[in-house]
Amino acid sequence: MAMKIRLARGGSKKRPFYSIVAADSRMPRDGRFIEKLGTYNPQLPKDSEERVKMNVERIQYWLGEGAQPSDRVSRFLEAAGVVAKKERNNPQKAVPGKKAQERAEEKAAKAAEAAEAPAEDTVAEE
């Protein structure tokens, strides 16, 4: 059975509240889980101690049993010092979108035209 440590969403519309759970990976996100391991409330400020609460002993047990944490849960565990920090690489993150690239090209073309225009004027006067 493939185990995951992941978030299960609760709370009302526009007011998210998550439970950190150990669940079979085949179960739905908010469906059946084996054990509740903590909570995450994204509505609270980032420096609040109540924002993320975890039962670290039980999480370590499930990690020892082979459970794989989701990306968000692994970030919580890294912040708590339970898991070693992973190296993440997203080379596409810094690349602007298509429209932004087009605007930059247009701006560069206009700047090049503006730079050439005064040079032509000085040549014509001589």
CB-neighbour burial class of residue 34 (10 A; exposed 0-12, middle 13-18, buried 19+): middle
Distance CA 75, CA 51 (A): 14
Residue found under tokens 């690489």: 89
pLDDT one-digit tens code per residue, 71-121: 999 999 998 888 888 887 777 777 888 899 999 999 999 988 888 876 555
pTM greater than 0.95: no
Distance CA 20, CA 50 (A): 14
pLDDT band at 6 (very low <50, low <70, confident <90, very high): very high
